[in-house]
A and B are shown apart, each in its own frame.
Chain A
Amino acid sequence: MEERYENRGRSTLDKKKPKKKESYFDYSLLFITIFLLCFGVVMIYSASSYEAQDTFQDAYRYVKNQIMGIAVGVVISAVFLFCDYHVWSKFSFLIYIGSIIAILLVMTPLGIEANGARRWLNLGISSFQPAELAKLAVILILATVICAMGRMARTPKGVILLFFVGGLVSALILLVTRNLSSALIIAGITFCIIFVITKNYKLYVALVAVAGILGVVAVNIIRLSAGSGGGFRAARIIAWLNPEEYADTTAFQTLQALYAIGSGGFLGKGLGGSMQKLNFLPEAQNDMIFSIICEELGLFGAVAVLIMFILMIWRMMVIAGNAPDLFGALLVVGVMSQIAIQVILNVAVVTNSMPNTGISLPFISYGGTSVSFLIGEVALVLRVSSQIRLKEME
């Protein structure tokens, strides 16, 4: 809201030259993104060098891969920055179908299995996680469809259709790649986009309430049945409730993360000072990197990182609020939701506030595909910001 007044103020200055458009660009968002990426590289080095040296005799192995991912992301972002974002409405269906095919391809010999999960595609030079593409694809397709539907988007029929569009990819990811975290994120993005375009609150409050009640009931059923059967997800829920009891098995990672966080205190052990990264904490450079941040930089460092994410969300909110059109605004809402959901879930897992599920911390966690697409998505948001029309309000 504030931004609007600001824009108005700025636009009065441009009164004299109405022809020449004032070019707006959200440098704050750009800076936050660059900061998080660089910080991420430093933290990946800190968290992974010991283990990488031990395993691959190359302390920089993960850092190199991450920088590769960032480089790919910069290439993608160049494309997003130079093309008018409206073009994507024409390609969105293609990308959507492409992502579905990519997900299905995981089942073919092209798929790579790692850590007992088949989630990656082998692209020859590097691996590729279709789920990351799917997130972008869902954001694009939803924005495109909503704009195409116009008013119909607000009707129950429209909402159901939209839920189907997002839900399909979410379900595929869950069923084909057995990747609950990505499925949850995509479902979350879908939910949030639909929430923004409709008027009422009741439906969403009710949906959240129902989901919450179902969740509590499910947890209680699992707890009472003491995890007999139920697979690894049930076991993870049990472990979440009593991490100390499952310290050597299911709750191992969670507990190791808590040890790391707990050792941090207010100011941390100093950059590079983590003990938990010395092969104690699995995936220290990946999903669990936040706990290493806590251990090395303390509560202040961790909160500082979270403040950077809050700033990022705030910038995106401002951009979405001032976007030139609905399509642009929806793209920004989608990206914002993805980043916010990932941050929230990641920190919740690391602090054992919810059962363990592998969710990476945007821009910071190690993961080539993820960081490439995130940079691309930020570039898309920046492009939307650069097309904000700084015109006087009537």
Chain B
Amino acid sequence: MEKYRSFHRKKLLVLATLYMIVIVGLCVRLGYVMIFEGEYYEEKAIELHERERSIKAARGKILDVNGEVLADNKTVCTISVIHSQLKDKEKVIQILHEELGIEKEILRKKVEKISAREKIASNVEKSIGDKIRNYDLDGVKVDEDFKRNYPYNTFASKVLGFTGGDNQGIIGLEVKYEAYLKGTNGMILTMTDAKGIELQEKGERRQEAVPGNNLRISIDKNIQMYAQQLAEKVRQKKNADRVEMIVMKPSNGEILAMVNVPEFNLNEPYTIDTDDVLYVAENEADQTQLLNKMWRNTCINDTYEPGSIFKVFTASAAFESHKVTFEDQFHCGGACVVEDRRIRCHKVGGHGSETFLDGLKNSCNPVFIQVGARLGVDDFYKYLNQFGLMKKTGIDLPGEAATIMHKEENVGAVELATMSFGQSFQVTPIQMATTVCTVINGGKRITPHFAVDVEDSNGKIIKEFCYSSKQVLSEDTSEKMRFGLEQVVENGGGNKGFIEGYRIGGKTATSQTLPRGSGKYISSFIGFAPADNPQVLAMVIIHKPEGMYYGGLIAAPVIKELFENILPYLGIEKTE
């Protein structure tokens, strides 16, 4: 009993109670960590456990005005191997060799390389990808991806543009409307262990990709196709460097076709046709420069000397400021002396005595030099500005070039004279076409454009594009010009553009390329129909044709052929 008493029950109780209290205290601490700090640690843990793989979003389609698909997406596969999961390497090499046609040596290197994930091939056709997947090889991954697909290859290549490796727009409308076309990539979040091995049984979290919106543009597939064919035909026939064509609606600036031949294949934008006359000379040049040249939309990115088509401006400005009437009499002696310069008319003997209307029909330079002189530098520039010629057109394609014009204070009589008939300065083809639209549509300066509206992937329109227009010219002047230009086609220099039964207006131009005396020309024609109420305007520019080079002879027939087909197509009936 004595021994027993030296043991203190009370202290035992204190000790055990202390233990229990401390353990209960730890329970509280545990609760704090698990519940209050838990969210923080859990987030950190998920960050640690999850690996993300992105799901590429489908890019929006580009549709023509009738809903024809001009650019869509193709499902392609990316084949890769995961070294740690490979079992039968020889079999993998054999099958991939058979299916993909890749050298066994190259495959062996990739298969045997110790890496988390080794890419074997990308942009593999879906059918081949599916076939490889069906072999069910351990360690071989087939991931689906989207690749931009252009069903008509070279169709409006420089307008539509193409996309890069991440499906982002590189040139053309693809880059201009990137924000609408681009989708939002999704994510697959998978759980992995500490070594990064994915755990199938833990499942995955998916954030679905949101496809991009579809862009509807004003291009009409049939008109573009036909225009492209015509341009290519004349290019080959005349062995020209390049041919540009623009077909648009004068009333609102919608572009129905924009052709730059040679076009390139949008599905293979990095392949240069080095046999083409345009690139053969610079075969040695830097690849990037050649590519940029090939991708260049010269209707917009480059300027040219418009030549006689610009007489439309001079005439309109003169009418607008009441400096001239169609009945005014002029004289052409085959040349005109301005200060110390003698400027010749294209007709060597001269047109003799003629009215202003005859001067327009004949595209007589001395007449326009005199009209320009009547306008004077101040008015000439006033109307240049008023017409919007000094500014860019604002077309919805990147890289529009600005007009290259003399500084007003440097313009003397000689400069004014040459400018009056469209020489010594440069504008873009789209600027010239837009200016003519303004003159014939009742004097409204319109914004040339492609984009019509944007619809989401369910076909609901989410944005309609609006473009500015501004009255810059009187309806009266416009009416006079329509009449005058119709006369040009009916019995003037543009008579090769005449189609029986249609009222067509137009103007030809032939300009020498710089430097002068090279014997190279730019031939062009701009036409519109019906002349009294223009529904469609078309312009063709042939760069450096061989042989016959007069715009009236080689360019006008192209537009004639185009109009013969597209006017009925557009529902424009023949009169009488």
Contacts and interface: CB of A to CB of B under 8 A. Distances in A.
Interface of A: 1, 50, 147, 150-151, 153-154, 192, 195-199, 258-266, 275-276, 278-280, 294, 298-299, 302-303, 306, 309-310, 313-314, 316-317, 320-321, 325-326, 329-330, 333, 336-337, 340, 343-344, 347-348, 351-353
A279 B494 CA distance: 84
Given A262-B33, A302-B30, A348-B26, A313 B19 contact: yes
Contacts of A154: 6
B30 A326 contact: no
22 contacts: A147-B3, A150-B3, A192-B15, A197-B7, A258-B37, A260-B45, A266-B34, A266-B35, A275-B49, A275-B191, A280-B193, A280-B194, A294-B30, A299-B31, A306-B27, A316-B16, A326-B6, A329-B7, A330-B7, A340-B23, A344-B22, A348-B29
A352 to B, nearest CB: 8
Interface in B29-47: 29-31, 33-35, 37-42, 44-46
A258 B19 CA distance: 24
Interface size class of B (residues with CB under 8 A): 35 or more
Contact of A298 (B34, B39, B48): B34
A156 to B, nearest CB: 15
B128 interface: no
A199 B10 CA distance: 9
Contacts of A260: 45
Nearest to B31: A299
A195 B15 CA distance: 8
A369 B123 CA distance: 60
B4 interface: yes
Contacts of A1: 9, 13
CB-CB nearest 4 A-B residue pairs: A262-B41, A279-B194, A278-B193, A317-B16
A303 B25 CA distance: 11
Given A262-B44, A263-B45, A278 B38 contact: no
Given A275-B45, A278-B193, A337-B15, A196 B8 contact: yes
Interface in B290-345: none
Contacts of A348: 26, 29
A303 B30 contact: yes
A152 B41 CA distance: 54
B41 A259 contact: yes
Contacts, number: 149
B37 A279 contact: no
B11 interface: yes
B34 A264 contact: yes
A283 to B, nearest CB: 13
Contacts of A303: 27, 30-31
A353 B13 contact: no
A294 B9 contact: no
Interface string B167-203: 0000000000000000000000001011100010010
A350 B251 CA distance: 78
Contacts of A325: 3-4
Contacts of A309: 23
